[in-house]
Structure 1
Amino acid sequence: MSRHERTVLGADQLRNTGLAPVGDRPWGTHICLFYETPQDLYDVHADYFGAGLASGEFCIWALSEPINRETAIEALRKSVPDFDKYLRDGQIEFIPGYQWYLRGDEFDPQRITGGWHAKLDDALARGFEGMRVSGNAFWFETSLWKEFCEYEAELDRSLAGRRMIVLCTYPLAASRAVDVLDVARTHNFSIAKRDGRWEFLETPELAAAKREIGRLNGAIDILSKPFPGSRHLTHREQIVLAQVVKGASSKEAARDLNISHRTVEFHRKNIMRKLGARNVIELLGIVLGSGQPE
């Protein structure tokens, strides 16, 4: 089996994220965390990486202020059982965030995304289930904010079909309201940890999708009510499915969601495959509860 095949197979398998507001999610999940204190950051990563290590995943933490390698290791050592063994076995890696993202003071999104993919290929070749990544947004106060937002969007697209889960962390103290909106648009989930307390930030896309589903005259709220296979769908796939149930064409859905027609088609094919539907009629039957395909 090739590395690519191993990456694609089981892409909808649910993984324990270790994050209470997010729960179990499939590979390809892209999470944004706003944090208030360094302790919030330590606590979140102990749960996040602890779950990944226990599940046989390779973990990478791209570090930047306010955390360095020594403090990160010490924090995980205190909270993650058998952490020293994982560290000795090379199951977790710590890399300098600034050097990883801005090698030679040059920002190259393709190099960065390609670097993650290369590390994933290596992790799979070494027998790990997949890869779990976290990176801190130290570039918040740099002149590269627009470029990094574009990188986040590209990274989100590149995760489709790959055995990766990515957590991006942002300091609340440095975040403007417009920054929060920019970030939320490029992640499946946006959550916050404020002095030990969790908060869930609803993205504009999710809010819009819920409004659209409300127009179905109560037939079904596909973002909150389960149906066969619903737990295997990603957040983006649920939003596209809402458009399908509403009766929107791919072009109409692309316009409403402000994404490309090709992206909508990609998600539609994944939805059909995951739910085992051969056509839209069968898909509606599954979602609306009138039966499943034989």
Structure 2
Amino acid sequence: MDDSLRTSGIENIGKIYWGTHIAQLYDSVEDFFNISVPYIMSGLKSNELCLWIYSQNTSFDEIIKFLEVHMVDVDSYVKSGQLILIPYTEIYIEDDSFNEVRANRQWKHYVERALKEGYDGLRAVADTYWLEKSYYRTFERYENNIQKIIPEMNFIVLCLYDASKSDTLQIAEIIKNHSYVIIKSDDKYEIVKNVELLIKDRQLLQAHEYDRLKNEFMANVSHELRTPLNVILGTVQLLELKKTDVDIKEHKYIKILKQNCYRLVRLINNVIDITKIDADFYKIKKQNCDIVNFVEEITVSVAEYALSKEITVVFDADTKQKVINCDPDQIERIVLNLLSNAIKFTPAGGKISVLVHDKGEKIELIVKDNGIGIPKDKQKSIFKRFEQVDKSLSRHEGSGIGLSLVKALVEKHDGNIAVNSEENKGSEFIIGLPCNIQNSESEESWIVQSLLKRPEKIKIEFSDI
């Protein structure tokens, strides 16, 4: 969410943040026009999509008339689509009743439309004059819920309430559910501030800013680490080429050094990619891929390594071929990560199965082992960032980023991932991917390139086993 300040157009409120929820208790239609017109004008001048939801106490023509008193180009804003005037029934009512789900869906639609059309966000006026007494409790609950949602959105809303229809209890609820409430006292407009909500909103914005700074810091540090690491890794590889000149002990140290370089490469790559995903800068490059043969090739390339750990890896599929549109590099990364975990947590003599099932509209990839399994109380948290089932580094090392990244990459493919596991019996990771196909796509180039890079990828992904 953008955390820049917006001009409210309301005297005594001044600049506000996205996510601000304002209310006005008005005595007359003229009262709410005095507040709503400059509020909407500020939005139009600030590149915001402006939505005015009117009730039975006014009309489209009357709103235009009041706006034209203060603006000369109202008609151009309406024609361009930046100013939208609609009756309350188009937001709040479904089947002749107030419907909270419809209202939330409509708000989300207009916020998304605003951003899609190049506006900074959505500014709305919503008159609740239509609200009948039978809906009061339901609407209060809705207002309370939406107050929790809008701080996450590029959205500002001014809710209008008829003071003559509101009793003391309802006024208290209005104050509770809004950051600011505008009331008229002695012919002057006064502002009642909900300090608790204002503090919470500011804390949320600060949290967003801290998160942005954290991501920026992690990305910068990760890139800075890559340069010296590449020098170290290059030096180690040169020493390996001259291994005839070193004794067995030195060769052992070189091997340890190289493995730990790969571990750092893996960690840095994961941190950079998870940071990009968080910032929505991560792009996948989809191509048509025979997923059955591709996953089989990955499995076969890992089998020899697993055998050195006395673990058997087998592949099986219920179809010979299935072409889907995906990013082969990222699918390979997903499968290698799951195989790395399976090998890490499966003792000698164990078995790992990689299965591909054709489910018609989706393909199912399964990595199954008979290792130590995952405790029931840990299964919900394994896809969370920096979570590890066993935090004892003496047993299994890792950053806790791997499965979080796997889940993010699967979701980038519009897929899903789930786990079935029983402690001391093994785990089964199930990935579902949509079976979409891109027309006229050559598969050969990425297959050759991927095969050439795979040994290095395996070394990196398996570096912390």
| TM-score scaled by length of structure 1 | 0.67
Listed one character per residue, the Cα deviations across residues 245-281 of structure 1 (whole Å, up to 9, x for unaligned) are xxxxxxxxxxxxxxxxxxxxx67834755898xxxxx
Q: Is the 8 A contact 1:37 1:195 kept in 2?
A: no
- Identify the residue that residue 200 of structure 2 maps to in structure 1: 236
- Identify the residue that residue 83 of structure 1 maps to in structure 2: 74
Any idea what SS the aligned residue of 1:159 has? helix
Superposed displacement of residue 65, structure 1? 2.8
- Identify the residue that residue 99 of structure 2 maps to in structure 1: 108
Any idea what SS the aligned residue of 1:143 has? helix
Percent of counterpart pairs with the same letter? Answer: 27
Any idea what SS the aligned residue of 1:185 has? helix
Q: Is the 8 A contact 2:123 2:156 kept in 1?
A: yes
2:162 corresponds, among 171, 186, 190, to: 171
Q: Rg bigger for which structure?
A: 2
Any idea what SS the aligned residue of 1:28 has? coil
CA 1:121–1:236: 2 relative to 1, 3 Å: same
Distance in 2 of aligned mates of 1:76 and 1:166: 18
Do structure 1's residue 269 and structure 2's residue 233 form an aligned pair? no
- Identify the residue that residue 394 of structure 2 maps to in structure 1: none
Distance in 2 of aligned mates of 1:159 and 1:148: 16
- Identify the residue that residue 348 of structure 2 maps to in structure 1: none
Superposed displacement of residue 80, structure 1? 2.6
CA 1:174–1:59: 2 relative to 1, 3 Å: same
The 5 Å alignment of 1:215-254 reads 234-237=198-201
Higher relative contact order (CA 8 A, sep 6+): 1
Superposed displacement of residue 166, structure 1? 0.6
Distance in 1 of aligned mates of 2:130 and 2:73: 33
Q: Is the 8 A contact 1:35 1:194 kept in 2?
A: no
- Identify the residue that residue 214 of structure 1 maps to in structure 2: none
Q: Is the 8 A contact 2:6 2:15 kept in 1?
A: yes
The 5 Å alignment of 1:143-292 reads 143-193=134-184, 197-203=188-194, 206=195, 234-237=198-201, 269-270=207-208, 272-273=210-211
- Identify the residue that residue 126 of structure 2 maps to in structure 1: 135
Do structure 1's residue 50 and structure 2's residue 41 form an aligned pair? yes
Superposed displacement of residue 138, structure 1? 2.1
1:133 maps to a residue whose letter is A
Listed one character per residue, the Cα deviations across residues 111-131 of structure 1 (whole Å, up to 9, x for unaligned) are 211111111111111111111
Superposed displacement of residue 108, structure 1? 2.2
- Identify the residue that residue 257 of structure 1 maps to in structure 2: none
| TM-score scaled by length of structure 2 | 0.43
Q: Is the 8 A contact 1:35 1:170 kept in 2?
A: yes
Q: Is the 8 A contact 1:36 1:194 kept in 2?
A: no
1:158 maps to a residue whose letter is I
Superposed displacement of residue 26, structure 1? 0.8
Distance in 1 of aligned mates of 2:66 and 2:173: 30
Listed one character per residue, the Cα deviations across residues 150-199 of structure 1 (whole Å, up to 9, x for unaligned) are 11111111112211101101111111111110111111111124585211
Any idea what SS the aligned residue of 1:122 has? helix
Q: Is the 8 A contact 2:125 2:158 kept in 1?
A: yes
Q: Is the 8 A contact 2:57 2:129 kept in 1?
A: no
Q: Tell me whether 117-126 or 98-107 shows the greater mean CA deviation.
A: 98-107
1:154 maps to a residue whose letter is N
1:59 maps to a residue whose letter is C
Q: Is the 8 A contact 1:63 1:97 kept in 2?
A: yes
Any idea what SS the aligned residue of 2:52 has? strand
Could you list the runs of 5+ residues in structure 1 that have no partner in the other structure? 1-7, 210-232, 242-265, 277-294
Superposed displacement of residue 133, structure 1? 0.7
Listed one character per residue, the Cα deviations across residues 183-229 of structure 1 (whole Å, up to 9, x for unaligned) are 111111111245852112244xx3xx6xxxxxxxxxxxxxxxxxxxx
- Identify the residue that residue 113 of structure 2 maps to in structure 1: 122
Distance in 2 of aligned mates of 1:85 and 1:129: 19
Superposed displacement of residue 54, structure 1? 0.5
Distance in 1 of aligned mates of 2:20 and 2:72: 25
CA 1:237–1:185: 2 relative to 1, 3 Å: same
